[in-house]
């Protein structure tokens, strides 16, 4: 799948300079057209956000301080964690055979429920996850959730905020030569995400990716 570049005219120059972008199916243009308030909120969040030294040199955890700060900022703006569950009800109606005295159909029902994946932030018809330095399998989970939500007609697009790899690794070493931060490439980053977009993992769902770079250091 060829990636699009509508983000180049939907985000201010200062944002384009500090972050790296990728998208499928003109996701930024769709975001502006269908959810303009969410686009403005996203721009405001990207303006507000800066990396701190500890973000680049410190150890991670279940939720890094980067992800925590961003998720809290989105919560304050009205975004909420969401989960998409699916319930399928099957009904078999056996029609009456009136010659033997049956007057109504006999109904047999069964229901199957599938618990879906959680999405970090949902507002209006936009789903957004923050994947700063987690296991790269999280990217498949996020994209799969977006695809299911889009196919169900619940969202218009998905957004993933992640990070770059090589420049942040260089920054970590410059700040602390003993740092092992970003030493592994098996965690969530733009290099891991871009091939998934290119092979069409999101199906028909437009996906916008924003990668935090070393240029975001305060």
Domain extent listing, the chain: 6-83+116-216
Report whether CATH 3.40.91.20 matches the domain 6-83+116-216. yes
**Sorting pLDDT into bands at 50, 70 and 90, what band is 218?**
confident
Do residues 43 and 7 touch, judged by C-beta distance below 8 A? no
As a whole number of Å, the end-to-end CA separation of the chain is 36
pLDDT band at 87 (very low <50, low <70, confident <90, very high): confident
Give yes or no for residue 43 having a pLDDT over 60.
Answer: yes
- pLDDT band for position 184 (cuts 50, 70, 90): confident
Cα–Cα dist 153/7, whole Å = 23
Residue 60 has a pLDDT of 55
Reported pTM: 0.89
Q: Provide the percentage of residues in the chain whose pLDDT is more than 70.
A: 98
pLDDT in the model for residue 62: 46
Beta bridge partners, 111, equal 89
Could you read off the pLDDT of 94-142 as tens digits, one per residue?
999 999 999 999 999 998 887 777 899 999 999 999 999 999 999 999 9
Length of the chain: 218
**pLDDT at residue 70 greater than cutoff 50:** yes
Q: What is the rounded average pLDDT of the residues 63-73?
A: 91
pLDDT of residue 112: 86
Q: Give residue 63's pLDDT band: very low, low, confident or very high (50, 70, 90).
A: low
* Least confident interval from 57-61, 114-118, 189-193: 57-61
* pLDDT average, residue stretch 3-16: 98
User: Three-class SS of residue 21?
Assistant: strand
Q: State the chain's mean pLDDT as an integer.
A: 94
> What is the rounded CA–CA span in Å between residue 77 and residue 41?
8
**Per-residue confidence (pLDDT) for residue 64, from 0 to 100:** 84
């Amino acid at each position: 799948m060829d990636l699009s570049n509508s983000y180049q005219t939907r985000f201010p120059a200062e944002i384009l300079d500090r972050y790296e972008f990728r998208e499928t199916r003109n996701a930024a243009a769709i975001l502006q057209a269908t959810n303009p308030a969410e686009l403005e909120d996203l721009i405001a969040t990207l303006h507000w956000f800066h990396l701190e030294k500890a973000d680049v040199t410190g150890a991670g955890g279940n939720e890094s301080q980067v992800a925590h700060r961003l998720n809290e900022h989105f919560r304050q703006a009205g975004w909420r964690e969401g989960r998409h569950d699916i319930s399928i009800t099957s009904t078999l109606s056996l029609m009456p055979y009136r010659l033997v005295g049956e007057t109504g159909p006999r109904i047999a029902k069964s229901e199957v429920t599938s618990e879906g994946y959680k999405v970090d932030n949902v507002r209006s018809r936009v789903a957004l996850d923050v994947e700063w330095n987690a296991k790269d399998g999280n990217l498949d989970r996020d994209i799969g959730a977006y695809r299911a939500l889009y196919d169900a007609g619940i969202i218009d697009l998905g957004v993933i905020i992640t990070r770059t790899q090589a420049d942040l690794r260089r920054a970590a070493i410059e700040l602390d030569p003993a740092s092992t931060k970003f030493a592994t490439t098996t965690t969530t980053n733009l290099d891991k995400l871009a091939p998934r977009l290119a092979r069409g993992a999101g199906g028909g769902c437009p996906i916008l990716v924003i990668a935090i770079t070393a240029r975001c250091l305060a």
